[in-house]
Chain A
């Protein structure tokens, strides 16, 4: 397992990480999710030893490795650009990390190595291990090729193979799927998750794509502007986002956020059934996910603007009577009224997320506050 303890990183005077503390448990698939520039890649690079914190400690399996370089830590990393060595064949690319760790300096010298006792056996062991990994990833027929002769998906596999070939304490993956086309990405997603289960090692997976993070991981760390916004299982993040920003980031369809002013005894004019703790005149933000806002006989009254038909479902763009735009989700077979026509959108009160309009922090779940 890897732990960060109060890690701060500044580039010049600009802080990019503000005292991050984080523990990735053994055997977990943990995603670090966040928009670009949130510090997620820096966090990963600090775990790898490629970057160093200005303050704070890094522990790997209990040992303090803050002062260790990347080559001194036993970590494996898959890069966004794959970073394959262009002058080496696939087999040599995969074998290099093993060779560097298993051979002594003398044995690595091409000519001398052959003559050293024991070197031959090591060499044979390495090549056997390379073939084993290649077979696992379906790279058998490509071992003698150079990276330039590989497709994007094949390069991706080689990069994974290079990480897999030795037995690192932890696997670090930096947006490894972002250069693949959509279909391949879905396929590799499943393969990576299966691979993680098979090795039983901790994977730390950095991505800006919340679908990837939700689909693959058992833990998600959401980072926003250099801080950890929330840590939890994918379901927690979706059902109980800790802040308005997290709520906006998680979910396939962007959440509707409506600022409202409370009436007497926490009444909300928009949703009469809802009771919110807070004085009259206080401002809160309502979070309504489109998928929880469905056309129904009764509910919020709105006017239809347009419909995006997606097959199984349709995204409904509407406006409330006061002009606030709203997205809702209707089943694919829903028969919409003509554009400009009136419709009602229903929402279950327990599905409403509440946030402090000032701080963006989550307020106790709406459902718990619904008046009997």
Chain B
């Protein structure tokens, strides 16, 4: 017997949306649930049994010196990257925006140059940085030495390494933020500047504070959240350049999750790290949705 039209339409819907729904459940939601459960166990990859240990994994992460290092390093990294990656991007965007009026060609070329690190393969570029910062044969230290300045050990100095990685992080994200700022600048109606001029704001700085900065507000918030989510994910540079060392001085959350889970096979503990990382990311992404909504309302 032929199925009713309703049944046939539902079958079509299932055929269209079913595979993606199943994949989504199997590859996203079920794993999240499993991670949440595992984080309360002492499960190890390959083990046959596990014990429920409550919040112990979380306690370890926040009390154990190594666990705490990962947390504090990540926070330092993020705290350094956000202001610099945003400030520099804003300065560059303002410069290129003004330049575009007179020399559009030069401005476009420079924009591509600043964006290049975003498109490049980070692991390969990390190796290039490693060569650049090499204590003996690196261009940076050779130049510093030539100038008679001290030549620090960028990637093996415990006090310095996380800042070195942050600098690479800044280098990598300035271009992306710059594009967002440029879009924000392009969206400011020119007559606002004319109005500001009529009102007496004639100097560049005055114009910036009366028009540009307030109008960029929503973009700035959005860029801040995007930069934060990207910074919290830092992994490639750590894995390539330091492996969290020396002595966990550059350990970060995602790298710790990788090391504990997939090198030491402590699935339970790695799950707890994952959950902490996840909670931070959810908070930031929700903030991002909020900001996106706001950005739309402003227009």
Direct contact, A vs B (beta carbon within 8 Å): yes
Residues of A within 8 A of B (CB): 52, 66-69
Q: Is B8 an interface residue (CB 8 A)?
A: yes
* Across-interface contacts of A52 in B (CB, < 8 A): 5
Lowest 9 CB-CB distances: which A-B pairs, in order? A67-B5, A67-B4, A69-B5, A52-B5, A68-B5, A69-B8, A69-B9, A67-B2, A66-B5
Roughly how many angstroms separate A22 CA and B9 CA in the complex, as a whole number? 27
* Across-interface contacts of A69 in B (CB, < 8 A): 5, 8-9
Q: Is the interface of A mostly helix, strand, loop or mixed?
A: loop
* Across-interface contacts of A66 in B (CB, < 8 A): 5
Can you give 9 contacting A-B residue pairs, CB < 8 Å?
A: A52-B5, A66-B5, A67-B2, A67-B4, A67-B5, A68-B5, A69-B5, A69-B8, A69-B9
Roughly how many angstroms separate A68 CA and B4 CA in the complex, as a whole number? 9
* Across-interface contacts of B8 in A (CB, < 8 A): 69
Roughly how many angstroms separate A371 CA and B226 CA in the complex, as a whole number? 88
Task: With CB as the reference atom, state the residue of chain B lying closest to A68.
Answer: B5
Query: How many residues of B are counted as interface, with CB atoms below 8 angstroms from the partner's CB atoms?
Result: 5
Task: With CB as the reference atom, state the residue of chain A lying closest to B12.
Answer: A69
- Residue-by-residue, is B124-157 near A (CB-CB < 8 Å gives 1, otherwise 0)? 0000000000000000000000000000000000
Roughly how many angstroms separate A69 CA and B5 CA in the complex, as a whole number? 7
* Across-interface contacts of B4 in A (CB, < 8 A): 67
Task: With CB as the reference atom, state the residue of chain A lying closest to B7.
Answer: A67
Most buried by B among A66, A67, A68: A67
* Across-interface contacts of A67 in B (CB, < 8 A): 2, 4-5
Roughly how many angstroms separate A52 CA and B4 CA in the complex, as a whole number? 12
- Residue-by-residue, is B1-36 near A (CB-CB < 8 Å gives 1, otherwise 0)? 010110011000000000000000000000000000
Roughly how many angstroms separate A268 CA and B2 CA in the complex, as a whole number? 64
Task: With CB as the reference atom, state the residue of chain A lying closest to B8.
Answer: A69
Roughly how many angstroms separate A68 CA and B2 CA in the complex, as a whole number? 11
Task: With CB as the reference atom, state the residue of chain A lying closest to B9.
Answer: A69
Task: With CB as the reference atom, state the residue of chain B lying closest to A66.
Answer: B5
- Residue-by-residue, is B115-129 near A (CB-CB < 8 Å gives 1, otherwise 0)? 000000000000000
CB proximity of B1 to chain A, nearest CB, Å:
12
Roughly how many angstroms separate A94 CA and B8 CA in the complex, as a whole number? 28
CB proximity of A67 to chain B, nearest CB, Å:
4
Roughly how many angstroms separate A194 CA and B137 CA in the complex, as a whole number? 87
- Residue-by-residue, is B257-283 near A (CB-CB < 8 Å gives 1, otherwise 0)? 000000000000000000000000000
* Across-interface contacts of B9 in A (CB, < 8 A): 69
* Across-interface contacts of A68 in B (CB, < 8 A): 5
Most buried by A among B2, B5, B8, B9: B5
Roughly how many angstroms separate A66 CA and B4 CA in the complex, as a whole number? 10
Roughly how many angstroms separate A68 CA and B5 CA in the complex, as a whole number? 7
Q: Tell me the residues in window 75-132 of chain B with beta carbons closer than 8 Å to chain A beta carbons.
A: none
CB proximity of A110 to chain B, nearest CB, Å:
22
Roughly how many angstroms separate A69 CA and B2 CA in the complex, as a whole number? 13
Roughly how many angstroms separate A68 CA and B3 CA in the complex, as a whole number? 11
Roughly how many angstroms separate A335 CA and B22 CA in the complex, as a whole number? 81
Task: With CB as the reference atom, state the residue of chain A lying closest to B5.
Answer: A67
Roughly how many angstroms separate A66 CA and B5 CA in the complex, as a whole number? 9
Roughly how many angstroms separate A133 CA and B8 CA in the complex, as a whole number? 34
- Residue-by-residue, is B190-216 near A (CB-CB < 8 Å gives 1, otherwise 0)? 000000000000000000000000000
Task: With CB as the reference atom, state the residue of chain B lying closest to A69.
Answer: B5
Q: A67-B4, A69-B8 are in contact. List 7 more A-B contacts (CB 8 A).
A: A52-B5, A66-B5, A67-B2, A67-B5, A68-B5, A69-B5, A69-B9
Roughly how many angstroms separate A68 CA and B8 CA in the complex, as a whole number? 10
Roughly how many angstroms separate A152 CA and B30 CA in the complex, as a whole number? 52
* Across-interface contacts of B5 in A (CB, < 8 A): 52, 66-69
CB proximity of A73 to chain B, nearest CB, Å:
12
CB proximity of B9 to chain A, nearest CB, Å:
8
CB proximity of B271 to chain A, nearest CB, Å:
46
Roughly how many angstroms separate A67 CA and B1 CA in the complex, as a whole number? 13
Task: With CB as the reference atom, state the residue of chain B lying closest to A52.
Answer: B5
CB proximity of B183 to chain A, nearest CB, Å:
27
CB proximity of B5 to chain A, nearest CB, Å:
4
CB proximity of A168 to chain B, nearest CB, Å:
20
Roughly how many angstroms separate A69 CA and B9 CA in the complex, as a whole number? 9
Roughly how many angstroms separate A52 CA and B8 CA in the complex, as a whole number? 13
